[in-house]
Structure 1
Amino acid sequence: MSPAGTALREAAGVLTFEEFVAVRGPALVRLARGLLRDPDTAEDVVQDVLAKALLSWWRVAGADDPVAYVNRMVVNACTSWWRRAARRERPAGEDLPEPAGRTRPDASAQLADRDQLLTALRALPVKQRTVLVLRYFEDMADEQIADLLDVTTGTVRSNAHRGLAALRGAVQR
C-alpha cells in the first residue's frame, strides 16, 4: 500500500468519495497533466475517471490501496486517450503561446526553461513519459511504478533511462 493510501486509510478509516476527491483530486490532475499534452484534456480525463470511480466507489474504497487503484485508472485513461488521439487531428491553435501577463517578468527565464522541458517531455513516447512523470512528479519508487504499470522494475528503469537521455538531448539543443 502506498504511504498516501495508508495515511488516508489510517486517518479516516474508509473515506467517502467526496473526502477522497478533496484530498487526492489535485494530485490526480497533476498526474494526468504530466501524461497528456493539454491541461484541459487532463482535467477532462480526471473528471471521467472520478465519475467512473464514483459509480463503483464500493469497489475502489474496498481495495487494498484506493490511491493506487485510482492512479492506475488515471494512467489507463490517459493511455486510452493517446490511443484515440492517434486517430484524431490536432487543432491548429494548440501550439499558440500563453497570453502575456500571467507570470512575473523576473520569472521569464524559468518559464522558458519549464516550457522547453515540458515540450521535450510531451514529445517522448507514452511509456517513457509515464515513467518519468510518475517518478519525478509523483515521487514514486520504481517498484511502485512497476506495480502500477504492470511491468518489471527493469522495464521502468530502462524507460526512465531512455526518457532522461532523450530529454537531455532535447534540452541541450
Structure 2
Amino acid sequence: MADKRNYWDHLFGQHGPGLAAFIRRRVRRSADASDLTQELYLRFLRADRAELIRNPEAYLYTVAVNLLREQSVLERRLGRAVDSSELAMDPALVNFRTPEEEVDLEGRVARITEMIDALPAKPRAALVLQYRDGLTYEEIADRLGVTTHAVKKYVMQGLALCRKRLAGLEGHSG
C-alpha cells in the first residue's frame, strides 16, 4: 500500500498543479475545484493495478474529466449551475470502461503520445499547451515567445502531421 501511495504521491506532485488548474477552469466556485482535486487524489489512491497504466498523465486527466462529468450531473440534479460546456469532450474519454477497454485506451494513448513526441518542438509544444493545459493562443504565444499567428500555424502543422501519421498507421493495420 505504501508503494502505491508513493507512486500516486509522486505523480500527483508532478501533475497536481496542472490537474488543479484544469479543474478550476471548468467549475465556477473555487471551493468546488479544491474539493474535486482532493476527490481526484483519493480516486487515484483507490486505483487497482496502477502498474498497468501505460500513460499515467493521460489516465489522470481522463479520471479528472470523469469526475467533472459526475459533478456536472450532480449539480444539475441539485439545481446549481456548473459550467460543463468544456466537458463536451469525446464521449469515449468520459464513459466508464472495462479493464480491457482501459488497456486498449492506454495503448491508443501511448501511440498518440509517441506520435506527439515525434513532432517538431514548436508544434508539439503548441499542441500540448492547447489540448492538455487548455491555454489560449495568446497564452501559448506568451509562453513560446511567438505571435498568436505563429501559434495557430504550429497547431495546424502539428495536427496535420498527426493526421498524416495516423493515416499511415491505419493503412498498415488494414
- TM-score normalised to structure 2 length: 0.44
Higher relative contact order (CA 8 A, sep 6+): 1
- TM-score normalised to structure 1 length: 0.45
